[in-house]
Structure 1
């Protein structure tokens, strides 16, 4: 099954955070916060502006992004935990 987001929606897969602190302490799963970093899986065609033209999104599939802690809606597609969010929920793209 494939999933194609509509309008200015973006599908993001969370990237796992480090399991150790800088000092070498291992963090158990129950104490970990959900990461606010992810990989864009797919994007919609874009949002319509006031004149009806489609404005393309700034992010694309494969971008590594930062998003808000409570952003998006969690869904499960083909056994993968994914987030669906609007492009405006994404704070930026990590480059390099």
Structure 2
């Protein structure tokens, strides 16, 4: 049975995007692969409440490609995949093509 994590409050679950390194002739160099500071959102929490009790929904959604901070987040392993859990205000922005 596959596990699915639904983040609590204003948290988002992100799968980091790792781009393979290639030489100019197209040969893949797996040992030189560097992690980009971007990822794809795979799950979002419902939102959180402010100090006055007003509900604040998240403005991010599943499938968004986001720019991540260099440090932070909580690493989580579900099955064979690794994910990172961030608060929505830790996300630096969304990336569009």
TM-score, structure 1 normalization: 0.85
For the 8 Å contact 2:42–2:62, the answer to whether it is kept is yes
Matched, 1:5 2:11: no
Question: How many pairs were matched up?
Answer: 95
Q: Does 1:39 align with 2:26?
A: no
More deviation, 59-68/30-39: 30-39
Q: Secondary structure at the match of 1:71?
A: coil
In structure 1, runs of 5+ residues without a counterpart are: none
In the other structure, the counterpart of 1:74 is 75
Judge conservation of contact 1:45–1:54 (CA < 8 Å) in 2.
Answer: no
1:15 is aligned to: 17
Q: SS of 2:18's equivalent?
A: coil
